[in-house]
């Protein structure tokens, strides 16, 4: 599946970049061109990076027992 149509970047390429140590969207853009033209794919690309690194977009607060 294509993530970035403008630059022909696939989901596989984004996941591989994450496996290679890419953590930020700006670094992904520098390495692959993803989100570098119109930016319409930026949210989806970031979501994939977060997923690959085990991060949650909106982390829940920790509940601490008193």
- Report the alpha-carbon distance of residue 38 to residue 53 in Å, rounded: 25
pLDDT digits (tens, 9 = 90+) for 42-51: 999 999 999 9
CA 5 – CA 40 distance, rounded (Å): 9
Q: How confident is the model at residue 23, as a pLDDT?
A: 94
CA–CA gap between residue 35 and residue 44 (Å, rounded): 10
Q: How confident is the model at residue 60 (pLDDT cuts 50, 70, 90)?
A: low
The pLDDT, as a whole number, for residue 55 is 73
The domains of the chain, with CATH numbers, are: 2-52 (1.10.10.1100)
β-strand partners of 2 = 10
Q: Which of 22, 20, 2, 21 is nearest to 12 (CA)?
A: 2
Task: Render pLDDT for 1-58 as a digit per residue (tens, 0 to 9).
Answer: 999 999 999 999 999 999 999 999 999 999 999 999 999 999 999 999 999 998 755 5
């Amino acid at each position: 599946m294509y993530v970035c149509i403008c630059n022909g970047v696939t989901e596989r390429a984004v996941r591989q970049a994450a496996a290679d140590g890419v953590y930020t969207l700006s670094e992904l853009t520098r390495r692959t061109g993803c989100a570098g033209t119109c930016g319409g794919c930026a949210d989806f690309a970031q979501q994939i990076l977060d997923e690959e690194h085990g991060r949650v977009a909106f982390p829940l607060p920790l509940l601490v027992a008193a």
